[in-house]
């Protein structure tokens, strides 16, 4: 099975789709490409909807993408079980931060029955709400989507992390702690 991932910034779009009797497909995409896709990606709209909701700080839209049994594992934090905990996490996050830019230079999607495994890398710009210095981060995310009875896809599992070293300004709790400390001075 060919699972090659395009190098960062590659101008080419490479698609690999491998099908078997088990209805399994593998898709590799570089979203920075100028070439059009010839393979239908069932999650591209849902992924874009997710990032649009994050940038708009629209919690209702974010929650609408969650499977009832969702589990999220944010970096440097406890696991979140169910849509209510994920919703609370985003409310807390948006109180302190705004995501102003996001790109995903690498993306791989594997569909196996009712599950879709999506691996992406990201480059993100985060602006603290209290006027601190903007945070730039690079990271990777693994999302498992679950197809619903109506044919839609919902986020079932999600985990992500920064590829930058600890202490480089990417940890939201360190940023919040510094904001609180600066308020008390």
Structural domain count of the chain: 1
Show the tokens assigned to 85. 């905990």
CATH number of the domain residue 161 falls in: 3.10.450.50
Among 6-20, 23-37, 79-93, 152-166, the least confident range: 6-20
In a domain, 127, yes or no: yes
In a domain, 10, yes or no: no
Show the tokens assigned to 130. 């209290």
pLDDT in tens, 113-132: 999 999 999 999 999 988 87
In a domain, 18, yes or no: no
Q: Residue 49 has what pLDDT?
A: 95
Cα–Cα distance for residue pair 70/150, rounded to 1 Å? 17
In a domain, 122, yes or no: yes
Percent of the chain with pLDDT over 90: 57
- Helix residue spans in the chain (DSSP H): 44-56, 59-64, 82-96, 172-184
In a domain, 9, yes or no: no
Cα–Cα distance for residue pair 17/2, rounded to 1 Å? 9
Angle between helices 172-184 and 82-96 (to 10 degrees): 50
In a domain, 17, yes or no: no
Show the domain range for 178.
Answer: 24-184
Q: How far is CA 28 from the centre of its chain?
A: 16
Question: What is the pTM (predicted TM-score) of this model?
Answer: 0.72
Length of the chain: 185
């Amino acid at each position: 099975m060919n699972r090659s991932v395009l190098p960062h910034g590659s101008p080419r779009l490479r698609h690999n789709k491998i099908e078997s009797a088990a209805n399994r497909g593998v898709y590799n995409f570089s979203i920075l490409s100028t070439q059009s896709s010839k393979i239908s990606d069932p999650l591209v709209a849902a992924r874009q909807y997710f990032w649009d909701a994050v940038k708009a700080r629209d919690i209702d839209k974010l929650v609408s993408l969650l499977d009832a049994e969702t589990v999220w594992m944010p970096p440097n934090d406890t696991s979140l079980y169910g849509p209510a905990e994920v919703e609370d996490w985003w409310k807390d996050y948006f109180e302190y931060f705004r995501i102003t830019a996001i790109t995903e230079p690498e993306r791989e999607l594997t569909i196996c029955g009712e599950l879709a495994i999506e691996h992406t890398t990201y480059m993100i710009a985060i602006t603290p709400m209290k006027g601190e210095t903007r945070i730039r981060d690079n990271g990777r995310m693994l999302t498992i989507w679950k197809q619903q009875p109506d044919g839609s896809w919902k986020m079932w599992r999600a985990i992500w992390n920064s590829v930058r070293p600890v202490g480089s300004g990417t940890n939201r709790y360190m940023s919040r702690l510094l904001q609180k400390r600066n308020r008390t001075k």
